[in-house]
């Protein structure tokens, strides 16, 4: 991509409404613009990151055999009357009336919708288990949206729903998602700690929040120090026995604020860490809560009616964009992990109009593309300082700087955004380095 032809409206100054670092950086880096409180437009750069995150989530869901589908954003109120949640959900639910005066709502979640689909289609235990997900926009009319996209009213979420015949099967499904979540967040360069959590208005017994640590985190958490000194985490074979992996994580103490246990914490002593975290995922087993109220029943092996066991598994996709920035930035801007970076590298032409620079950049640009490197070339007629500042701000993992001075010696500079390390190499070596 050529920056001269791209839409990247960066800001030198921070808009006054943005307080926390991810919100500030997302506005300054031209990733988002606010439409109204808690509702954002995603500009090209931000959209790319969100799509990268979405794709990682998708791949890990597909890998455990969950099937992708898509349910609507607008749902009929009657569906929610069946579960009783139309009345209990409260003002967080955005209620709409259509032209025929029918009660509708903008979905804050999709348990009712998926349960209706399931119960109308699945009648025999032979068709179990079923495990489905979609990645769709949700709306929750928060009283007080804040923190930019981390606590918006409109947000993109992956939510999966499982249907099993009995508790044992449901537990296995839960474990699959548990491990899939570990892999998903790890791929994004995050350390997400599974924590015992309240199951909230969705209800249920077995529930874990996946929390990433950040000083600006929204809530306090407590956990065993081991989660931070995470070399043992790297030694867990995520491909191994599910229950063993899940136990490895759940055996160590980790709890959200409302679930903390003073007794256990006393025994931990110096191993106790209290920190702030951002919830990026939440998995629930809630048994028959919806299957009972909505009649999701199959015929069992002995001809008896069996009310199915359900669970739901959410990941805040749009929230993760902000969450990753909270976990990975410095004074100059964002530092994207490779896997979610909007481009892998930035190519800075320090002197557009200079034929040596132009030719070297065009050649490098093409070679990088040919080598499969997603590159953003800053070919704007701007000053060097502005280009460096913008490139640091948008946080691409690598920067290749091409200027007249280096070119005299046949050299370009490769900078690692995360470490700040710079190397002077030939253009050929630069391509090798980035492609490798």
Report, in Å, the least distance between residue 425 CB and RNA: 12
Q: Which of 3, 20, 25, 53 binds RNA (CB under 7 A)?
A: 20
Phi, psi angles (nearest 5°) of residue 239? -90, -5
User: Is residue 359 part of the contact set for RNA (CB under 7 A)?
Assistant: no
| Those residues with Cβ within 8 angstroms of residue 104's Cβ, 6 or more apart along the chain or in another chain | 74, 75, 76, 77, 95, 96, 97, 98
Residues from 297 through 356 that contact RNA (CB under 7 A)? 314, 316, 318-319, 332, 350-351
- The sign of the dihedral angle between the CA atoms of 421, 423, 427, 432 is negative
Binding to RNA in span 80-119, by CB under 7 A: none
Spell out, one character per residue from 33 to 72, where the chain touches RNA: x when CB under 7 A holds, - when not. -x-xxx----------------------------------
Query: 274 — phi, psi (to 5°)?
Result: -110, 125
Q: Which window, 68-76, 140-148, 174-182, 268-276, contacts RNA (CB under 7 A)?
A: 140-148
Return d(Cα 334, Cα 264) in angstroms, integer: 38
Three-state SS at 358: helix
Sign of the torsion angle spanned by Cα atoms 176, 240, 272, 320: negative
Q: Does 413 bind RNA (CB under 7 A)?
A: yes
Four-residue CA torsion sign, 32, 37, 39, 41: negative
Which stretches within 188-328 are classed as H helix?
231-234, 242-250, 262-268, 289-294, 317-327
Q: Which H/E stretch holds residue 161?
A: strand 154-164
Minimum CB distance to RNA smaller for 298 or for 425: 425
- Alpha helices (H) along 255-354: 262-268, 289-294, 317-327
Are 240 and 287 in contact by the 8 Å Cβ rule? The answer is no
Could you tell me the smallest distance in angstroms from the CB atom of residue 188 to RNA?
15
Measured from the CB atom, the residue of 164 and 390 that comes closer to RNA is 390
240/410 with CB nearer RNA:
410
Q: Does 121 bind RNA (CB under 7 A)?
A: no
Q: Is 389 in the site for RNA (CB under 7 A)?
A: yes
Asked if 403 touches RNA (CB under 7 A), the answer is: yes
- Interface with RNA includes 435 (CB under 7 A)? no
Report in angstroms how near the CB of residue 333 gets to RNA at its nearest. Answer: 8
Binder among 58, 158, 329, 415 for RNA (CB under 7 A): 415
Among 279, 309, 326, 379, contact with RNA (rule: CB under 7 A): 279
Stretch that binds RNA, among 30-38, 44-52, 124-132, 165-173 (CB under 7 A): 30-38
Contact predicate 411/402, CB 8 Å? no
| Cα distance between residue 402 and residue 144, in whole Å | 47
With CB under 7 A as the contact rule, the residue among 72, 84, 200, 240 that binds RNA is 200
- Strand boundaries in 344-392, DSSP class E: 345-349, 375-378
User: Interface with RNA by CB under 7 A: which range of 115-123, 246-254, 361-369, 402-410?
Assistant: 402-410
How far is the C-alpha of 39 from the C-alpha of 28, rounded, in Å? 17
Residue 152 sits at φ, ψ, to 5 deg, of -85, 175
Position 406 contacts RNA (CB under 7 A): yes
363 makes contact with RNA (CB under 7 A): no
Does residue 172 bind RNA (CB under 7 A)?
no
Q: Of residues 106, 147, 185, 290, which one binds RNA by CB under 7 A? A: 147
Nearer to RNA, 165 or 406 (CB): 406
Q: Among 94, 90, 80, 77, which Cα is nearest to 140's?
A: 94
**CA distances from residue 203 to 128, 234, 310 in whole angstroms, order as listed:** 23, 33, 11
For position 227 contacting RNA by CB under 7 A, the verdict is no
Question: Least distance (Å) from RNA to the CB of residue 402?
Answer: 7
Judged by CB under 7 A, the residue of 24, 119, 282, 289 near RNA is 282
Q: With contacts defined by CB under 7 A, name the span among 113-121, 160-168, 367-375, 407-415 that binds RNA.
A: 407-415
Is residue 10 involved in binding RNA (CB under 7 A)?
yes
Bond from prior residue into 41 cis (ω within 30 degrees of 0): no
**Separation of alpha carbons 182 and 190, rounded Å:** 9
Instruction: Kindly list the residues in this chain that would bind RNA in the complex (CB under 7 A).
Output: 10-17, 19-20, 28, 34, 36-38, 140, 142-147, 150-153, 155, 157, 200-202, 209, 218-219, 279-282, 314, 316, 318-319, 332, 350-351, 382-386, 388-390, 392-393, 401-407, 413, 415
């Amino acid at each position: 991509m050529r920056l001269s032809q791209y839409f990247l409206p960066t800001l030198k100054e921070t808009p006054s409404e943005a307080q926390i670092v991810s919100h500030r950086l997302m506005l300054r880096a031209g990733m988002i613009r606010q439409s109204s409180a808690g509702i954002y437009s995603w500009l090209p750069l931000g959209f790319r990151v969100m799509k990268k995150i979405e794709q990682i989530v998708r791949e890990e869901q597909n890998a455990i055999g969950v099937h992708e589908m898509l349910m609507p954003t607008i749902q009929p109120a009657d569906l929610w009357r069946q579960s009783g949640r139309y009345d209990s959900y409260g003002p967080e639910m955005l209620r709409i009336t259509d032209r025929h005066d029918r009660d509708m709502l903008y979905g804050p979640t999709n348990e009712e919708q998926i349960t209706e689909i399931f119960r109308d289609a699945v009648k025999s235990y032979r068709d179990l288990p079923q495990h489905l997900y979609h990645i769709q926009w949700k709306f929750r009319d928060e009283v007080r949206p804040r923190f930019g996209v981390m606590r918006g009213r409109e947000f993109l979420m992956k939510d999966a729903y499982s249907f099993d015949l009995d508790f044992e099967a449901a537990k296995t499904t839960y474990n699959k998602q548990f491990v899939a979540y570990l892999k998903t967040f790890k791929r994004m360069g995050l350390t997400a700690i599974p924590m015992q959590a309240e199951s909230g208005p969705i209800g249920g017994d077995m529930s874990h929040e996946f929390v990433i640590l950040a000083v600006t985190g929204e809530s306090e958490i407590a956990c065993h120090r081991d989660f931070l000194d995470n070399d043992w985490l790297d030694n867990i074979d995520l491909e191994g026995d599910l229950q063993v992996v899940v136990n490895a994580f759940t055996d160590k103490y980790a709890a959200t604020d409302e679930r903390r246990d003073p007794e256990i914490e006393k025994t931990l002593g110096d191993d106790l860490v209290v920190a702030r975290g951002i919830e990026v995922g939440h998995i629930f087993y809630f048994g028959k809560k919806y299957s009972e109220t909505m009649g999701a029943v199959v015929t069992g092996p002995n001809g008896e009616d069996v009310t199915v066991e359900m669970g739901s598994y959410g990941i805040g996709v749009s929230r993760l964009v902000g969450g990753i920035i909270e976990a990975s930035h410095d004074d100059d801007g964002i530092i994207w992990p490779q896997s979610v970076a909007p481009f892998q590298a930035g190519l800075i032409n320090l002197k557009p109009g200079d034929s040596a620079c132009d030719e070297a950049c065009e050649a490098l640009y093409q070679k990088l593309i040919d080598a499969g490197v997603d590159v953003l070339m800053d070919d704007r007629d701007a000053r060097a300082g502005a280009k460096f500042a913008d490139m640091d701000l948008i946080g691409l993992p690598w920067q290749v700087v091409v200027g007249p001075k280096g070119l005299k010696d046949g050299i370009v500079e490769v900078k690692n955004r995360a470490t700040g390390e710079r190397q002077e190499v030939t253009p050929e070596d630069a391509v090798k380095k980035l492609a490798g």
